[in-house]
């Protein structure tokens, strides 16, 4: 069998989180192989330096690299994340906020009760169907408990992190160097193409020429190699994801202890994240410039944070939301913002980076630069991007804020994928959403529990005034037993503060 890795020279262009993640994963997995990896980055250009929330995929990343939490978390100001609380996205009474939990094995015990109550409520019965009381992660976040169970608790609990994006990049750089990755600094002024159209070399402003067999484009929104040099097309998601800018402003850590969840609160023309780190809280207003100027957004963020006159500088960023048509083209793989970005509502960017690099390594080991392998890989990553997009679009489409033009436009547009249309039709006609997600084969992107939490969390049920009593409600779901189960499970977890002191 041909060894595609033998004497493979890889140049990763870009030293943001994406570039360093790719370099680490490749250097780790191919450490026994004859693979040479160089990272080239430009300190003059710098990194985007935002992106402080993760999914559980980040834990899988550190586990793969065998880096214990105690080694990276304190350095990166990191905290635990049980999930995301969405506040103010719905004006339905009783649904002013809800929690999107990360899934855990223990949820299988309470999920059937939640699904049943959702189904009854969709059918017009007055039963409790708010997601929060059914899931352990929401309880852990509410009580500020870290998602680290006591040794005798026999269930795996999944979780993510919050972290300082700048420090994480520097940490990953040091780790990559230990794995034998070469680190160069310099600004690329030209991408040289070979006669057959492949990328031949990168030429820096000071005249160095870097040749390689494989180029990883991690140049952020610039997408210098994949989009600019190879001309791969970009598909904007602007017709159903309106946000294209963000303004950020840090605040001191909460005086009553560090929370262990992200909060996403709806404002007039977007939403603001609240990400608790050890030494500060990261805040960022993600908004649409079609509905709000950067100055107005900054003012609204400052007012929201009680910092109208505070002498703290805000940072303004533009976002390019969408994805490329092909993430791997010829001998170039795009990783990170260069391959696309779906706005940060579910903190999925690094998740997609890791899925891209893992999927690429599998495909490359199997068939090198074989076009059929590339086509299958690109289809798989596009499917993942589009699946994440649909879930995020659904948040906006289901909002019940309705008091600004921005939220009305989000609730009323008709640019939905067939997949999302089928999910919404299924929900509103009272059919089984689990079956629909299974039929579409998209449960690996967001499982039925996540979809139920979103739709139930925004109170997408028949008009409360028209609900009728379910005479068998008590016999069907024993809610006292659910509450008791969740609160007794939570007894197996210690405080977030105590957990951080050991990590």
Ligand X SMILES: Cc1cc2nc3c(=O)[nH]c(=O)nc-3n(C[C@H](O)[C@H](O)[C@H](O)COP(=O)(O)OP(=O)(O)OC[C@H]3O[C@@H](n4cnc5c(N)ncnc54)[C@H](O)[C@@H]3O)c2cc1C
The yes or no reply on residue 274 touching ligand X (CB under 6 A) is no
Among 53, 160, 340, 457, indicate the residue that binds ligand X (CB under 6 A).
Answer: 53
Among 8, 10, 18, 141, indicate the residue that binds ligand X (CB under 6 A).
Answer: 18
In angstroms, what CA-CA distances link 33 with 21, 29, 173, 212?
19, 9, 21, 16
Nearer Cβ to ligand X, position 49 or 124? 49
Q: Which residue has the tokens 């409790």?
A: 128
Q: Considering 59, 81, 143, 466, which one is annotated as catalytic? A: 81
What distance in Å separates the CA atoms of residue 91 and residue 95, rounded to the nearest whole number? 7
64 SS3 class: helix
Helix spans in 330-460 (H): 349-367, 371-398, 405-412, 418-428, 433-440, 448-457
The yes or no reply on residue 301 touching ligand X (CB under 6 A) is no
Within 379-408, the residues that bind ligand X by CB under 6 A are none
Nearer Cβ to ligand X, position 210 or 393? 210
The yes or no reply on residue 42 touching ligand X (CB under 6 A) is yes
The yes or no reply on residue 52 touching ligand X (CB under 6 A) is yes
Nearer Cβ to ligand X, position 203 or 365? 203
The yes or no reply on residue 127 touching ligand X (CB under 6 A) is no
Nearest residue to 413 (alpha-carbon basis) of 247, 254, 240: 240
User: CB 41 → ligand X: shortest distance, Å?
Assistant: 4
Among 47, 84, 176, 398, indicate the residue that binds ligand X (CB under 6 A).
Answer: 47
For 14-130, list the strands marked E by DSSP.
35-41, 79-81, 83-87, 97-101
The yes or no reply on residue 183 touching ligand X (CB under 6 A) is no
**Interface size with ligand X, residues (CB under 6 A):** 38
CB 346 within 8 A of CB 334: no
Region binding ligand X by CB under 6 A among candidate stretches 83-91, 345-353, 403-411, 474-482: 345-353
What distance in Å separates the CA atoms of residue 136 and residue 177, rounded to the nearest whole number? 39
143 as an active site residue: the answer is no
Nearer Cβ to ligand X, position 228 or 440? 228
Nearest residue to 260 (alpha-carbon basis) of 21, 503, 14, 499: 499
285 SS3 class: strand
Nearer Cβ to ligand X, position 324 or 347? 347
Among 28, 142, 222, 503, indicate the residue that binds ligand X (CB under 6 A).
Answer: 222
Among 5, 73, 337, 477, indicate the residue that binds ligand X (CB under 6 A).
Answer: 337
Nearer Cβ to ligand X, position 165 or 401? 165
User: CB 37 → ligand X: shortest distance, Å?
Assistant: 15
Q: Give φ, ψ of 10 to 5 degrees.
A: -120, 130
Region binding ligand X by CB under 6 A among candidate stretches 46-54, 90-98, 106-114, 441-449: 46-54
User: CB 434 → ligand X: shortest distance, Å?
Assistant: 28
The yes or no reply on residue 218 touching ligand X (CB under 6 A) is yes
Contacts of residue 183, defined as CB under 8 A and 6 or more positions apart, other chains included, come to 15, 38, 39, 41, 173, 176, 177
Angle of helix 57-64 versus helix 17-29 axis, rounded to 10: 40
The yes or no reply on residue 225 touching ligand X (CB under 6 A) is no
Q: Which residues pair with residue 184 across a beta bridge?
A: 40
Nearer Cβ to ligand X, position 10 or 18? 18
In angstroms, what CA-CA distances link 312 with 51, 74, 284, 292, 479?
20, 25, 14, 21, 47
Among 149, 270, 336, 340, indicate the residue that binds ligand X (CB under 6 A).
Answer: 336
What distance in Å separates the CA atoms of residue 126 and residue 134, rounded to the nearest whole number? 17
Nearest residue to 43 (alpha-carbon basis) of 23, 24, 10, 15: 15
Region binding ligand X by CB under 6 A among candidate stretches 86-94, 335-343, 435-443, 462-470: 335-343
Among 7, 174, 187, 315, indicate the residue that binds ligand X (CB under 6 A).
Answer: 187
Query: Which x/- pattern, by CB under 6 A, does the window 302-321 give for ligand X?
Result: ---------------x-x--
Q: Which residue has the tokens 């070469």?
A: 182
User: CB 165 → ligand X: shortest distance, Å?
Assistant: 6
Among 5, 24, 29, 41, indicate the residue that binds ligand X (CB under 6 A).
Answer: 41
The yes or no reply on residue 224 touching ligand X (CB under 6 A) is yes
What distance in Å separates the CA atoms of residue 226 and residue 13, rounded to the nearest whole number? 11
How many beta carbons lie within 10 A of that of residue 445, not counting itself? 21
Catalytic residue numbers? 81
Give the footprint of ligand X on this chain (CB under 6 A): 13-19, 40-42, 45-48, 50-54, 165, 187-188, 218-220, 222, 224, 246, 284, 317, 319, 336-338, 344, 347, 349-350
């Amino acid at each position: 069998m041909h060894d595609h890795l033998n004497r493979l020279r890889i140049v990763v262009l870009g030293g943001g989180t994406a570039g360093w993640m790719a370099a680490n994963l490749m250097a780790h997995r191919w450490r026994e192989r004859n693979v040479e990896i160089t990272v080239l980055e430009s300190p003059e250009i710098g990194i985007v330096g935002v992106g402080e929330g993760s999914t559980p995929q980040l834990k899988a990343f550190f586990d793969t690299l065998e880096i214990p939490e105690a080694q990276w978390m304190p350095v990166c100001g990191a905290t635990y994340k049980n999930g995301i609380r969405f506040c103010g996205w719905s004006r339905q009474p009783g649904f002013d906020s809800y929690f999107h939990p990360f899934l855990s094995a223990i949820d299988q015990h309470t999920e059937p009760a939640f699904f049943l109550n959702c189904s009854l409520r969709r059918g017009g019965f007055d039963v409790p169907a708010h997601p929060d009381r059914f899931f352990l992660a929401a309880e852990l976040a509410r009580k500020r408990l870290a998602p680290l169970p006591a040794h005798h608790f026999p269930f795996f609990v999944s979780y993510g992190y919050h972290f300082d994006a700048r420090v994480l990049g520097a940490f990953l750089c040091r780790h990559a160097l230990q794995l034998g990755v070469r680190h160069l600094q310099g600004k690329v002024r030209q991408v040289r193409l070979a006669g057959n159209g492949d990328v031949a070399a990168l030429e820096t402003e000071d005249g160095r020429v870097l040749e390689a067999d494989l180029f990883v484009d991690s140049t952020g929104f610039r997408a210098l190699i994949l989009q600019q040099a190879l001309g791969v097309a970009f598909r904007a998601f602007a017709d159903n994801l309106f946000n294209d800018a963000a303004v950020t402003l840090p605040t001191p850590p909460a005086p009553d202890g560090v929370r262990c969840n992200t909060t996403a609160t709806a404002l007039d023309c977007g939403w603001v994240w609240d990400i608790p780190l050890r030494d500060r809280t990261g805040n960022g207003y993600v908004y649409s410039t079609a509905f709000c100027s950067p100055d107005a957004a900054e003012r609204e963020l400052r007012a929201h944070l009680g910092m109208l006159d505070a002498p703290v500088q805000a940072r303004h960023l533009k976002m390019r939301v969408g994805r490329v048509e092909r993430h791997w083209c010829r001998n170039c793989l795009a990783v990170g913002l260069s391959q696309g970005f779906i706005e940060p509502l579910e903190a999925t960017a690094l998740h997609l980076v890791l899925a891209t690099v893992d999927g690429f390594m599998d495909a490359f080991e199997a068939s090198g630069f074989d076009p059929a392998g590339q086509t299958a890989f690109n289809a798989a990553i596009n499917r993942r991007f589009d699946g994440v997009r649909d879930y995020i679009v659904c948040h906006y489409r289901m909002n019940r804020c309705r008091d600004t033009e921005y939220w009305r436009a989000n609730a009323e547009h008709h640019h939905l994928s067939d997949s999302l249309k089928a999910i919404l039709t299924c929900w509103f006609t009272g059919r089984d959403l689990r079956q629909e997600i299974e039929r579409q084969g998209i449960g690996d992107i967001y499982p039925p529990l996540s979809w139920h939490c979103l739709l139930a969390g925004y109170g997408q049920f028949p008009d409360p005034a028209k609900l009728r009593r379910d005479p068998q409600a008590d016999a069907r779901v024993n809610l006292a037993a659910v509450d008791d189960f969740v609160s007794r499970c939570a007894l197996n977890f210690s405080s977030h503060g105590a957990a951080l002191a050991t990590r």
